[in-house]
Homo-oligomer: A and B are copies of this chain.
Amino acid sequence: MIDSSLARPLEKALDRLLPKRGVPARLQAAMRYTLFNAGKRIRPALLLQVCKDLGGNLKNALPSACAIEYIHTYSLIHDDLPAMDDDDFRRGKPSSHKKFDEATAILAGDALLTAAFEAVARTPDKSLIGPMTLALAEAAGAAGMVGGQQIDLSPKANVHEIHEKKTAALFKASTHLGALAARSPKAGNLARYGLHLGLAFQAVDDILDAHEKGRRNVACIYGLKRAQVLAAREVAAAKAAVRFMGVNGERLRQIADFVVSRKH
C-alpha cells in the first residue's frame, strides 16, 4: 500500500529515537516488546507518504512518524490492561501485562508516551517542533485518543464519538504532521484527509469484526450495508480533501481506496 522505500528508514528511526542510556533493562524490554511486535506501521507510513508526496524533506518527518507509532503502541499497552479492556493477547502473543506484569506495562506505556514528545523535539527544522507538538498532543490527549478511551468505558457512549477520538484523531494527526513536515500551506486539507481515512478504516474494521464486536461496532448497530455506505462516504471525503494535489495525490487516493477494499 505505502511506498516500501519508507519502511527501512522508519524501522531504524523507531529504534534510534528510543531512549536507551540509563533505562532499566526490564522497562526497556517491555517498551521494545510491544513496539517491535509485527505492527503494520500504518500511521507512521502514512505520515511519511504525505510528506514525500508533498515534496517535503523526510528528515523532518521521521521523528514525528516515530512519535505517532510510540503513542499508538502505548495506547495498545494501556488499553489491554485488566482495568481497561483486559486483553491477554495482542497480535497472537501475550499482551504486555501478561508477558511482564501490570506495573511494568503501565510504566512502559508512560515511557513510550514521553519518548514520543522527546522524538518530536529532535526534528531537525526547529521551527516545526511547536506546531508538531501541539498537533500530536491534541490528537493523543484528553480531547483526543485518551478521551475516546474514557468515553468507550461509559455504557451510554456514542459510537461515532468513540471512532472519531479513539481511531480517527491519530490518523488525522499522522497526515497533518506529514504536511507540517513538508511545510505545506494545505496542512488543513491533509488533516481532513486523515480524519476521513481514519473513520473509513474504523468502519471497515467494524465490518470485518462484525461477528465478534457489539455495541461499539457500526456494522452491528446499523447493519453491514449501511456500514459499507458509511465507509464509502468517508473514503470519498478523504479523496476530495487531496484533490488539490493532482497527480501527486494519486498514491494517497489509492491508499483510501485500499482501506475500504481490504479483507483483513
* A22 close to B (CB within 8 Å): yes
Contacts of A121 in B (CB 8 A): 129-130, 133-134, 137
**Considering the chains assembled together, what is the distance between the CA atoms of A151 and B28 in angstroms?**
12
Closest to A132 in B: B121
Mark contacts of A116-132 with chain B using CB atoms, 8 A cut-off: 1 yes-contact digit, 0 otherwise.
01101111001101100
Contacts of A149 in B (CB 8 A): 107
What is the copy number of this chain in the assembly? Answer: 2
Interface residues on chain A, size class: 35 or more
Mark contacts of A204-234 with chain B using CB atoms, 8 A cut-off: 1 yes-contact digit, 0 otherwise.
0000000000000000000000000000000
Interface residues of A in 134-193 (CB under 8 A from B): 134, 136-138, 140-144, 146-147, 149-151, 153-154, 165
Structural contact, B104 and A117, CB atoms closer than 8 A: no
* A51 close to B (CB within 8 Å): no
Contacts of A249 in B (CB 8 A): none
Contacts of A127 in B (CB 8 A): 126
Structural contact, A117 and B117, CB atoms closer than 8 A: yes
Contacts of A20 in B (CB 8 A): 143
Contact of A142 among B19, B84, B123, B138 (CB under 8 A): B19
Structural contact, B118 and A133, CB atoms closer than 8 A: yes
Contact of A26 among B106, B114, B143, B154 (CB under 8 A): B154
Q: In the complex, what's the smallest C-beta–C-beta distance from A218 to chain B, in angstroms?
A: 20
Q: A104-B153, A129-B133, A133-B129 are in contact. Are A146 and B83 (CB under 8 A)?
A: no
Structural contact, B141 and A19, CB atoms closer than 8 A: yes
Q: In the complex, what's the smallest C-beta–C-beta distance from A86 to chain B, in angstroms?
A: 10
Structural contact, A142 and B31, CB atoms closer than 8 A: yes
Structural contact, A141 and B114, CB atoms closer than 8 A: yes
Contact of A27 among B24, B103, B150 (CB under 8 A): B150
* A235 close to B (CB within 8 Å): no
Structural contact, B101 and A114, CB atoms closer than 8 A: no
Structural contact, B140 and A114, CB atoms closer than 8 A: yes
Which of A114, A141, A143 is packed against the most chain B CB atoms within 10 Å?
Answer: A114
Structural contact, A26 and B104, CB atoms closer than 8 A: no
Structural contact, B24 and A150, CB atoms closer than 8 A: yes
